[in-house]
Structure 1
Amino acid sequence: MDPIERSDTLSDKAYERLREALMSGAYKPGDALSIRGLADTLGISATPARDAISRLLWERGLQSGPFRTVLVPKLTKESLGDAYEVRLSLEGLAASLAAPRYTDTDVAELEAIHKGHVKAVNGRNYRAALAANESFHFHIYERANNELLLEIIRGVWLKLGPSLNLLYPKYVQTRQGVTHHEEIVSAMRKRNAGLARKAVEADLRTGLQELVQALQEESRL
């Protein structure tokens, strides 16, 4: 069969924008979304906004709430552990695949993203820090040259992204995230697959510990 040619629709573009916002932590766990609110934010009609929300409900990036509301899911300790089991396996693999493929230009780009992350952390601009963190990680994973692996990682980040807000501001006070990113950049500069995997996994393990602690503190409030 001959392929059907078409450009992205408004629904597709709205979906991509909302999906990216969830992955990068633009929304927090428990935030409520509405079709009208999303439509107004994106400057579109209600229909493509509704389609985008419906797709993300199906992907479990969003969940239905009471009184026909749509909510950003809250992760439990158990679901967080499940997500990080997948992250450790797949993101460590992606880093090891990407490292030998890194060019001098790639290293320079990764260093620039890292500097932007540090600047956001130092300025306590946590929204920008979350966005830079996502850009940093996916700069690496996209260079693993494995579309299936990348697709699965993106699916995990869709569900996890909002919960990364729980890392701030405490996580930046310890500077652990910054230190791990410096180790990752160093591994990529050396094109060392083993070091790259080890550094990414260390970053993830530290983040998991902090997130579990944040969830425990939140449950006591």
Structure 2
Amino acid sequence: MPRKFQSQTKKQPEHDVIYQALKDMILFGDFIPGQPLTIMNLAETLGASATPIREAIRRLTAERALETQENRRVAVPHMTPALLEELDFLRLTIEPELARRAAPHVTPDEIDALERHDDELEHAINIGDVKLYMKANYAFHFTLYQRAEAPTLLKVAESIWLQIGPALRVGCGRFGTAKLTDQHVETTKALRNGDFDRVSTSIREDIIQGMDFVRHSLK
């Protein structure tokens, strides 16, 4: 059961804590495409009042992670082949560029952190833990991308991942994590060798595999 998110922290306003909690639920597969969400149910799940829930929904709707339907209800958007092709194009355009820009700035300690995320991802594949796989995969990519010093590109990439997350969760649930191959070893190897072009190429190959998996699950 999701943990309760009370306003216990003094470092972040409650609406930011709730926004991050709901964002993580979308990213890591707590919801499926088309699932309706209500403020009452979210408030109960997250242990929060209606006001920060509404603010989080507003922000996530602006990021296209949620959509408002004709009856003014909020739902997780359905994935369609047309939308998937758009997101595929955006990922292949933006993320290899983030990786290319990040590569010269990644420190040895950060490569160690990337390898730990990759070990966790491999473990998740081996035991069939979909949520752990999705968390480790996100952590690997965005630990790298954050070093690109390109906040606008990073924000677009985050929005894309929010839109992909629920569909990827369905694909993993349908076919299992054993269908996935860990492509990240090539990335960390290229980082250690200072082969920055290969860093970008390996991320591109990883994206192609992941998006093909989602595309196959739609069929």
Aligned to 1:173: 178
CA RMSD of aligned residues (A): 2.0
How far off is 1:24 after superposition? 3.1
Q: Distance in 2 between matches of 1:195 and 1:142?
A: 18
Code of the aligned partner of 1:174: K
Q: Which residue of 2 is the match for residue 206 of structure 1?
A: 209
Correspondence for 2:7:
none
Deviations 1:19-60 (A, max 9, x none): 232233332212222111211222111121122112222332
Instruction: Report the equivalent of 1:116.
Output: 120
The one-letter code matched in structure 1 to 2:177 is: V
CA distance in 1, matches of 2:209, 2:176: 9
| TM-score where L is the length of structure 2 | 0.87
1:40 paired to 2:28: no
Contact persistence 1:101–1:191 (CA under 8 A): no
1:208 is matched by which residue type in structure 2?
M
**Distance of 1:144 and 1:25 partners within structure 2:** 27
Aligned to 1:75: 79
Residue 92 (structure 1) aligned to one of 96, 101, 121: 96
Q: Distance in 2 between matches of 1:70 and 1:146?
A: 31
Identity over aligned pairs, percent: 31
Divergent runs of 4+, >3 A: 65-69
Give the aligned length: 209
Preserved CA contact (<8 Å) 1:101 1:144: yes
In the other structure, the counterpart of 2:19 is 15
Cα distance in 1 for residues equivalent to 2:176 and 2:212: 10
| Distance verdict in 2 for CA 1:54–1:148, change over 3 Å | closer
Matched position secondary structure for 1:28: coil
- Under a length normalisation based on structure 1, what TM-score does the superposition of the two structures give? 0.86
Identify the range of structure 1 (63-72 vs 21-30) with the bigger mean alpha-carbon deviation: 63-72
Counterpart code for 1:54: R
